[in-house]
Structure 1
Amino acid sequence: MKLHYRDLGQGTPFVILHGLFGISDNWQTLAKYWSQKYHVYLLDLRNHGRSPQSTDFNYDLMVEDLSEFITEHNLVNPVIMGHSMGGKVAMNFALSHPNQVSKLIVVDIAPRPYPVHHQDIINGLNAIDISTMTSRTEAETALEPYIPETDVRLFLLKNLYRKEDNSFGWRMNLAAIERNIAEVGRETIADVPFTKPTLFVKGGNSRYIQEKDVPSIQRLFPNVQLVTIENVGHWVHAEAPEKFYQLVVDFIG
């Protein structure tokens, strides 16, 4: 599958993968700063953003998509970074394609399995009748009973776009995501560890990476640094952009 992407800058190739319900635009602001040092590639994963949609949705396929992208664009020794679901893609890719990665950055997700915990979001998105909707305000109003946090609602509604006939549509394939939602929490496993430099970044207020996850992280990624940015949640890069920017630059070099 040929993924939609945008790229900025010159230098070391730096591939960034968004999380579930995200799009490449989520990283645009930080990418502009990183592009002063690196050649940044912002990808839309399958069934997200402007990338093709498919009834099939799992990590094996997303890893294949990423490998195809790296090969097609002749990226040599790229740094791969992923947040949340994108972090799972990045982990799986590094473990299965170690020769196509120079350094790995995983943002606020661990290798362990996660139970399905996105049902409120899915129910809220399904409650939006985009066939009759005339404004984003209507969509946010429909979503509010399911998602009380304003910032999360606005994040999700970035997936809405206006079609040529002025009606609304979703950038994401909500039906495929819902049908395969258990895949998103799938455990990351491998017989052979990824031994190149790896950085795990945890949000201090987030529960996605816990103390119990450290042994599995160190087993799969023995050359790892685990850094906590305090007083932020799961969206580490959005809540502490300056600290996160510098942490990534110091790691990549």
Structure 2
Amino acid sequence: MTSVPLPLHAHTAGQGFPILCLHGHPGNGRSMSVFTEHLSRRFWTLAPDLRGYGRSRTEDAFSMTDHLPDLEHLLDRHQIQRCLVLGWSLGGILAMELALRLGDRVSGLILVATAARPRGNHPPVSWQDEAFTGVASILNRIYPAWDWNIETFGKRSLYRYLIQQHNAHAYRRLAFEALEAYLTTSRPAIAALSQALQQRYSRLDDLPSLRVPALVLAGAEDRHITAASSEETAQALPNAEWHCYPNVAHLFPWEIPEQVLRDIDDWLVRHPQVSQASIMGME
């Protein structure tokens, strides 16, 4: 294992106060576009491909903690002294880790479908699940959001655990962002996540030290990281607001993007300190 920072490829857009957007597993920076396309109208968004994902390639084994010096190096490279961090799933775990590591450099947290002690209730995966998922994914890439494919294969595939609202917007995101992210996730990245899960990762006891404003968003039908574990995280954070959306699952920002983005905008308006450029004399 190595802790030498890996220069991360990052998707950047907009200008103004920086928002660091961290993707999940499998994922890449592009899969955060549901957030960055909206937020970059007012802010400077940076969505890196994490180590072992997308264009931040490595064939070397690493641990989950190696993501942190990579992200610190990214902030230093862009001369960012303070930023808001938005993380989805694995990205939310790393957002909390980064806040614990960097203190005043993180102004606030937006945590999406994530938890400091992640728990899931995903049922066993059968070969039929995998077969239907493969067919659904290929057809969806060729004919995005095709109703026949959604009804025939999509709703019988593993997508039924990732989304509840099988709408066109979600399937277009699955076609153009999820499939690419899956295909560009490396074996070392899969191994690093598996190792962390086997070690029963938990940072719940450390969260009371994070006093920055936090917005915690969850899907009521999330089978990968349950809404209960997200709520537990929100309760442990001293200054958190929690929203749980009904009839959506782990990929709920792709199911109900307008609602999610409205709630983020509202939270930003009510917590202007998270997007201010200075704190304690830092610029």
TM-score (norm 2): 0.69
**Which residue number corresponds to residue 218 of structure 1?**
235
Q: Is the 8 A contact 2:50 2:67 kept in 1?
A: yes
Q: Is the 8 A contact 1:203 1:233 kept in 2?
A: yes
The answer to whether residue 208 in structure 2 is matched with residue 203 in structure 1 is no
Q: Over aligned residues, Cα RMSD in angstroms?
A: 3.6
Q: Secondary structure of 1:245's partner?
A: helix
* Aligned-partner residue type, residue 182 of structure 1: Q
* Aligned-partner residue type, residue 252 of structure 1: L
Q: Is the 8 A contact 1:57 1:177 kept in 2?
A: no
- After superposition, give the CA deviation of every residue in 1:105-153 in whole Å (9 maximum; x if it has no partner): 11011111447969859x959xx9xxxxxxx56x99xx99974659597
Number of equivalenced pairs: 235
The aligned runs of 1:1-253 (5 Å cut-off) are 1-114=6-119, 120=125, 147=158, 149=160, 151=171, 154=175, 156-159=178-181, 170-178=183-191, 180-184=193-197, 186-189=201-204, 191=206, 193-207=209-223, 208-211=225-228, 214-219=231-236, 221-253=237-269
Mean Cα deviation higher: 15-24 or 209-218: 209-218
In 2, the alpha carbon distance for the partners of 1:212 and 1:43 equals 26
Q: Quote the sequence identity (%).
A: 24
* Aligned-partner residue type, residue 245 of structure 1: L
1:215/1:69 CA distance change after superposition, 3 Å: same
1:119/1:68 CA distance change after superposition, 3 Å: farther
1:224/1:148 CA distance change after superposition, 3 Å: closer
- After superposition, give the CA deviation of every residue in 1:192-237 in whole Å (9 maximum; x if it has no partner): 6110101100112225244466455433x21111112232211121
In 1, the alpha carbon distance for the partners of 2:124 and 2:190 equals 11
Q: Is the 8 A contact 1:95 1:190 kept in 2?
A: no
In 2, the alpha carbon distance for the partners of 1:209 and 1:81 equals 19
Q: Is the 8 A contact 1:15 1:42 kept in 2?
A: yes
Q: Secondary structure of 1:233's partner?
A: coil
Q: Is the 8 A contact 2:51 2:189 kept in 1?
A: no
1:57/1:119 CA distance change after superposition, 3 Å: farther
Higher relative contact order (CA 8 A, sep 6+): 2
Mean Cα deviation higher: 90-99 or 200-209: 200-209
Mean Cα deviation higher: 183-192 or 232-241: 183-192
Displacement of 1:250 after TM fit?
2.0
Q: Is the 8 A contact 1:116 1:181 kept in 2?
A: no
Q: Is the 8 A contact 1:105 1:199 kept in 2?
A: yes
- After superposition, give the CA deviation of every residue in 1:8-63 in whole Å (9 maximum; x if it has no partner): 11111011111101111112243222111111111111111111324334331112
In 1, the alpha carbon distance for the partners of 2:242 and 2:196 equals 25
Q: Is the 8 A contact 2:25 2:90 kept in 1?
A: yes
